[in-house]
Amino acid sequence: MAEGSRPGPLAFGQVVIGPPGSGKSTYCQAMRAFLGQLGRSVAVVNLDPANEAVPGPCALDIGELVTLPDVMGSLGLGPNGGLLYCMEYLEANADWLRERLRALRGHYLLLDCPGQVELYTHHQALRNVLAQLAKWNFRLAAVHLVDSHYCTDPGKFISVLCTSLCTMLHVELPHVNVLSKMDLIEHYGKLAFNLDYYTEVLDLSYLVDHLASDPFFRNFRRLNEKLVEVIEDYSLVSFVPLNVQDKQSMRQVLQAVDKANGYSFGEREQRSLEALMSAAVGADFHFSSTLAVQEKYVQSQDKAVEEEVMDL
């Protein structure tokens, strides 16, 4: 085997994806700081050519190779077409990426990716880049951030479930879906069901019934039922709640990701019964993390009601 084609030593990381405004860059910087406190060597890699103002330290920036404004200006493309071209250009210049990543061996990688949904549902370029990283011995897990405010709208939540499922099937990486900005969920409105209903994606027929109370969605009940059937038949989508300001919440997300990409089972992770059990728990782990967030949510709702009563 030629020296250049030989895979490097094993490395771990997260591919942070999600729609615009879901908090990807904020998550990367918060997770970088959190992992640094745990003693891990961490490197943030910006793979978003439209992100010209990374909010924190960045070890590698795709802007050194290509930027969206340059592509739009030189090729006359719009933002969407320009971003697709940038990802295809990155795929064509995989050697550049490999050379830059070689200097980051020994670091845990946080890949901050673009927010264009098409890149994760049917376009091939970024998927091919991630597949190439796997050949280079990078063990990655996709962290798909979804803004928690979608939980307050049943129609939007079904849409998010469909998008998350499509992304999981297309990207073909170990996947952790995350409900971000949980500290702001009380500002978005009252949830129709308890939070664990949304994180564990329980019986969605209740959601269809709730939608049917809306005159607009009543006409699309059959369509919603079929969409829900697809989601439930695959039985893949669930969410971990996240508040980047809460260290316990960050730890719970990290445990799920470390289990997904295999870091928990590697030689670098100190073996202990607690570490092994936390990685093996699964549903119970998600329930306990959701319960803590649910309690905070309920308390905020009760406080709001008390304030309204006092005002009266």
Token pair in block for residue 24: 């990807």
Question: Phi, psi (5° rounding) for residue 302?
Answer: -65, -40
Q: Answer whether residue 73 shows pLDDT above 50.
A: yes
Regarding whether 188 and 62 lie in a shared domain, the answer is yes
Per-residue pLDDT at 294: 54
| Domain count of the fold of the chain | 2
The residue that leads in pLDDT, 141 or 278, is 141
pLDDT at 121 over 90: yes
Count of CA atoms in the C-beta half-sphere (13 A) of 47: 33
Give how far Cα 104 sits from Cα of 7, 97, 131, 268, 290, Å: 14, 11, 18, 17, 35
At residue 312 the predicted structure's pLDDT band, cuts being 50, 70 and 90, is: low
3 located within any domain: no
In a shared domain, residues 261 and 214: no
Answer yes or no: do 90 and 56 share one domain: yes
Burial group, residue 176, by CB count within 10 angstroms (0-12, 13-18, 19+): buried
Per-residue model confidence as pLDDT tens digits over 203-233: 888 888 888 777 777 788 888 899 999 999 9
Domain that holds residue 219: 206-236
Q: How many helices (H) and strands (E) does the chain have?
A: 14, 7
Please indicate, yes or no, whether residues 148 and 296 belong to a single structural domain of this protein: yes
- Token pair 């020296």 is found at 3
170 shares its domain with 242 = yes
178 in any annotated domain = yes
Residue 94 has pLDDT above 60, yes or no: yes
| Same domain as 210, residue 86 | no
CA distance 196 to 291: 7
Mean pLDDT computed over every residue of the chain:
84
Domain assignment present for 157? yes
CATH number of the domain to which 32 belongs: 3.40.50.300
pLDDT level of residue 298 (50, 70, 90 thresholds): low
Model pTM?
A: 0.83
Residue 21 located in a structural domain: yes
Is the pLDDT score of 190 beyond 80? no
In a shared domain, residues 119 and 229? no
Sheet holding 60-61, edge to edge: 60-61, 42-46, 108-112, 11-17, 138-147, 175-180, 239-241
In a domain, 155, yes or no: yes
Band (pLDDT 50/70/90 cuts) for residue 287 is: very low
- Residue 268 tokens read as 């670098």
In the chain, the amino acid numbered 279 is A
Residue scoring higher pLDDT (190 or 21)? 21
Shared domain check, 149 and 217: no
Mean pLDDT of 11-31: 94
- Are 147 and 21 in contact by the 8 Å Cβ rule? The answer is yes
